[in-house]
């Protein structure tokens, strides 16, 4: 027998014509969903790896996060204002029973939040009418923006916030009713005070689309009631679960404001925003905020997108008041909201003169 007939194929040999035809047909017949899944998986894996490398470098920083995960569940967070943020720490603690290590659980939780955010974003963009390519582009753009806003430490509630406000941006674009979003609002209430931004949107309903006076009145009453209920629930959780300050050497404890317990940082943030960032190499943060404020003020001054402009300005001002302007993780809820609210273009009209697509979206409710 001629041994050459059993010679193994060389690496540089092209497959026979029949094989090439089979490969082309297989690629041609591949489901767009399968291809989207592959691309989405690769983008998400890259994002998880990059954020993992950025966040878990400084042991002091992620050690502080882990201390607060334990402290919130024990009633000894660094600040009493954090006591109601139970959801994320509880999830990380539950995962640690499986991983056997709190740090591994924190990393796993962060990765799951990224997977969830990218998957949810793609699904919601597709539901808004985006093509598969536009949906994937939205995920890539969001992932890039997410990497730009990575701070040196992030807490479990930051990841949950992203999921919540991706969902809310989509819901707001459809002009969905507040009451039907209430279950997610309850979830947000035990995660972070940012949940209060959701009923605030409905309090700004007079700035938005034209509604019957009866529906508008119901919406305003419901929003006001839910703000009081959610805020009251957060304060009650703080009072019921808080034990006292932790034993954390070297930690400076700020004087909190009465009742709300959140320290006010406006003077510090104004100095960072107007002076220090420009002198100390953090120009990007202040310059980006200047552009954001200018754009949002323009929206708020108009008529077509006044509601979203005013709402977003309130969110930014709250960061200046209660957060730290240079902690870029605090802008993640706003980023998530705008991706599902405005992508794909054009932005939804907030006035009576809505487009055909917006009318169809309203009928779909």
Print the SS3 string covering 167-213.
HHHHHHHCCCCHHHHHHHHHHHHCCCHHHHHHHHHHHCHHHCCCCCH
| Token pair recorded at residue 192 | 């972070």
> Quick check: is 6 in a domain?
no
Does residue 12 belong to any structural domain of this protein?
Answer: no
Containing domain of residue 302, as a range?
31-246+257-364
Mean pLDDT of the residues in the chain: 86
The answer to whether 312 and 296 have CB atoms below 8 angstroms apart is yes
pLDDT-derived band at 217 (thresholds 50, 70, 90) equals confident
Q: What is the pLDDT of residue 351?
A: 66
pLDDT above 70 as % of the chain = 83
On whether residue 338 sits in a domain, the answer given is: yes
State the pTM of this model: 0.85
- How far apart CA 92 and CA 106 sit, in angstroms, is 6
Say whether the peptide bond before residue 23 is cis (omega within 30 degrees of 0).
Answer: no
Identify whether 5 is part of a domain: no
Judge whether 180 lies within some domain.
yes
Residue 65 to residues 40, 55, 122, 156, 281: CA-CA distances in angstroms?
29, 11, 29, 9, 26
The answer to whether residue 252 is domain-embedded is no
110 inside domain: yes
346 vs 139 pLDDT, higher one: 139
Q: Is the per-residue pLDDT at 267 higher than 90?
A: yes
Confidence check: pLDDT of 352 > 70: no
In a domain, 14, yes or no: no
Looking at residue 28, its pLDDT comes to 56
195 pLDDT above the threshold of 90: yes
- Comparing 66-75, 196-205, 249-258, 309-318, the range with the smallest average pLDDT is 249-258
H or E segment and range at residue 287? helix 283-301
Predicted confidence band of residue 147 (pLDDT cuts 50, 70, 90)? very high
User: At a CB cut-off of 8 Å and minimum separation 6, what does 83 contact?
Assistant: 72, 75, 77, 237, 238, 241, 242
175 sits in the region (left: phi over 0; alpha: psi -120 to 50; else beta) called left
Q: Give me the number of domains the chain comprises.
A: 1
């Amino acid at each position: 027998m001629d041994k050459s007939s059993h010679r193994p194929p060389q690496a540089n040999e092209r497959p026979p014509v029949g094989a090439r035809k089979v490969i082309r047909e297989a690629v041609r017949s591949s489901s767009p969903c399968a291809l989207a899944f592959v691309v989405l998986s690769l983008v998400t894996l890259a994002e998880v790896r990059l954020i993992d490398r950025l966040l878990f470098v400084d042991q002091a920083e992620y050690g502080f996060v882990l201390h607060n995960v334990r402290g919130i569940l024990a009633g000894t967070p660094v600040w009493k204002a954090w006591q109601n943020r139970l959801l994320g720490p509880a999830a990380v603690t539950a995962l640690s029973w499986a991983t056997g290590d709190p740090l591994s659980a924190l990393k796993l939780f962060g990765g799951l939040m990224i997977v969830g955010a990218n998957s949810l974003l793609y699904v919601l963009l597709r539901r808004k009418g985006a093509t598969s390519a536009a949906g994937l582009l939205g995920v890539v753009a969001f992932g890039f923006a997410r990497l730009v806003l990575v701070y040196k430490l992030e807490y479990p509630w930051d990841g949950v916030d992203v999921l919540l406000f991706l969902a809310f941006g989509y819901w707001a674009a459809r002009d969905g009713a507040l009451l039907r979003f209430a279950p997610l609002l309850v979830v947000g209430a035990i995660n972070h005070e940012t949940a209060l931004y959701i009923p605030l949107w409905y309090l700004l309903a007079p700035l938005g689309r034209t509604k019957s006076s009866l529906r508008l009145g119901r919406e305003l009453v419901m929003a006001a009631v839910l703000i009081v209920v959610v805020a009251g629930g957060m304060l009650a959780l703080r009072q019921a679960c808080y034990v006292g300050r932790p034993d954390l050497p070297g930690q400076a404890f700020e004087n909190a404001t009465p009742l709300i317990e959140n320290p006010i940082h406006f003077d510090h943030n104004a100095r960072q925003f107007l002076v220090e960032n420009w002198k100390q190499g953090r120009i990007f943060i202040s310059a980006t905020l200047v552009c954001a404020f200018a754009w949002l003020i323009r929206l708020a001054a108009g008529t077509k997108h006044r509601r979203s402009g005013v709402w977003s300005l309130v969110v930014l001002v709250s960061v200046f008041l209660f957060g730290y302007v240079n902690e870029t993780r605090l802008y993640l809820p706003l980023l998530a909201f705008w991706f599902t609210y405005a992508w794909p273009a054009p932005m939804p009209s907030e006035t009576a003169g809505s487009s055909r697509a917006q009318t169809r979206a309203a009928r779909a409710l």
